[in-house]
């Protein structure tokens, strides 16, 4: 059995995050020692490692919850799992496209900068007026 600190070290997940995952029922409630210390077994270690890896791949918590639920019944077909992975891949591809457009826009702004004074700075000018952008990369409101 592992303490929460040792579970944290073994998975690279911070202690407050482990507690949070317990609160939102991604992890089962821990057993307690006689001294009321949380104790975790190998199944929880595996589950937390799964969650950590899924988070590293960008899966949202609700998708992870669904994946965990599906993995709890290994005899069912994996079509639902595949659909979740396909959605995540589409989200990653969309982010990559957006980042590529942002990189292009930043390169364009820097290329057009005359390196004079801030009053004449093309970077400041473009940041102040989205219509001067060469690419549609969304607005701050799109990110909310």
The answer to the question of residue 72 being in a domain is: no
The DSSP line for 48-113 is HHHHHHHHHTT--HHHHHHHHHHHTSTTS-SHHHHHHHHHHHHHHHHHHHHHHHHHHHHHHHHHH-
What does the alpha-carbon distance between residue 77 and residue 75 come to, in Å, rounded to a whole number? 7
Give the pLDDT of the chain (144 residues) as one tens digit per residue. 999 999 999 999 999 999 999 999 999 988 898 888 999 999 999 999 999 999 999 999 999 999 999 999 989 899 999 999 999 999 999 999 999 988 988 888 888 777 777 777 777 887 888 787 776 666 544 544
Is 130 inside a domain boundary?
yes
DSSP type of residue 134: S
pLDDT (0 to 100) of residue 144:
42
- Domain residue limits at 103: 79-143
**Residue pair 15/40 in contact by the 8 Å Cβ criterion:** no
Residue 137 has a pLDDT of 60
Tell me if 64 is assigned to some domain.
no
The pLDDT score that the predictor gives to residue 136 is 66
Q: What's the domain count of the chain?
A: 2
Q: State the CATH number of the domain containing residue 18.
A: 1.10.1660.10
Are both 91 and 54 inside the same structural domain?
no
Alpha-carbon distance of 53 to 12, in angstroms, equals: 10
Q: Per the domain annotation, does 63 fall within a domain?
A: no
């Amino acid at each position: 059995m592992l303490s929460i600190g040792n579970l944290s070290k073994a998975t690279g997940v911070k202690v407050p995050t482990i507690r949070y995952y317990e609160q939102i029922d991604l992890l089962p409630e821990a057993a307690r020692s006689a001294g009321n210390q949380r104790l975790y077994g190998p199944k929880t270690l595996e589950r937390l490692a799964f969650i950590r890896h899924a988070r590293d791949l960008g899966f949202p918590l609700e998708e992870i919850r669904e994946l965990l639920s599906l993995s709890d019944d290994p005899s069912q077909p994996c079509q639902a799992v595949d659909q979740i992975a396909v959605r995540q891949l589409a989200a990653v591809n969309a982010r990559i496209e957006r980042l590529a457009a942002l990189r292009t826009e930043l390169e364009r702004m820097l290329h057009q900068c005359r390196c004079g004074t801030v009053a004449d700075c093309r970077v400041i000018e473009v940041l102040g007026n989205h219509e001067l952008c060469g690419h549609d990369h969304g607005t701050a409101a799109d990110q909310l």
